[in-house]
Amino acid sequence: MTTIAMRFDGFLTPHTDRGIGNDAVVLQGRFLDFRREISHSESLGKSYRDARNALLEAYWECGTNNWDGYGAAAVSLGDLCTAMKFISILPTSIPTPEVSVDPDGEFSFDWHNKDCDVLSLSIGLHGRISYAARFGESRTHGTEYFADELPPAVIANLERLFC
């Protein structure tokens, strides 16, 4: 029997398919159809589309060295691909992040909640995530790596911010 596991971390997640055979191909096709519908959905896909557009705009504007006048490094296509992959695996319930570019050329995502708590994380090449957060008087920061799934520490911080 061939099965497909729907993950909870995001319906826009690029599916890593390890199944083989006709049933696996059919299930993979249905999963991709489902993803396509979600991403075009006015409500569920809006956060993803807004973040994607912000990333593309930032990529075009920060694609040359010294784009900030202080000697910042250019954003690379690899940085953009990594950041695109990252936003595609964010849960659809998470609000659109504010996108900016760091002086080292990494994309940065900031989220704020109504209590003025904040999570700021930067995505680098090879999936390195550097993050810092404030929850009231509490503060945390760290480094994680991602390939296909959000690291547990990032999920925990997003949940703390919005749940």
Partner 1 sequence: MSFHPLLLRIWNVFSVSRVSNLSPADPISHFLTHKNHFSPQNNRVKPAPFLPRANKKISGRLETSVFATRDLSESQIWNLGRAYLRKTRIYGCANLQVGVAEKIKLQVVIDNSPRRHGNILGWPPEKDAQKDLALDLARHSGLRILP
Compute the least distance from the CB of residue 88 to partner 1, in Å. Answer: 20
Compute the least distance from the CB of residue 147 to partner 1, in Å. Answer: 19
Task: Work out the number of other CB atoms within 10 angstroms of the CB of residue 20.
Answer: 9
Of 17, 33, 110, 148, which lies in the binding site for partner 1, with binding defined by CB under 8 A?
110
48 and 88 in contact (C-beta within 8 Å)?
A: yes
Nearest to 118 by CA among 98, 134, 101: 134
Task: Work out the number of other CB atoms within 10 angstroms of the CB of residue 81.
Answer: 11
**Where in 26-65 is the site for partner 1 (CB under 8 A)?**
54, 58, 61-62
d(CA 80, CA 52): 10
Contact call for residue 102 and partner 1 (CB under 8 A): yes
Contact call for residue 118 and partner 1 (CB under 8 A): yes
Of 27, 38, 44, 72, which lies in the binding site for partner 1, with binding defined by CB under 8 A?
72
Three-class secondary structure of residue 9 per DSSP:
coil
Compute the least distance from the CB of residue 128 to partner 1, in Å. Answer: 8
Bridge partners (DSSP) listed for residue 119: 111, 133
**Where in 121-150 is the site for partner 1 (CB under 8 A)?**
121-122, 124, 128, 130-134, 139, 141-143
Nearest to 133 by CA among 162, 107, 101: 162
d(CA 73, CA 53): 21
| Residue (68 or 148) nearer to partner 1, CB | 68
The residues binding partner 1 (CB under 8 A) are: 54, 58, 61-62, 67-72, 98-104, 106, 108, 110, 112, 118, 120-122, 124, 128, 130-134, 139, 141-143
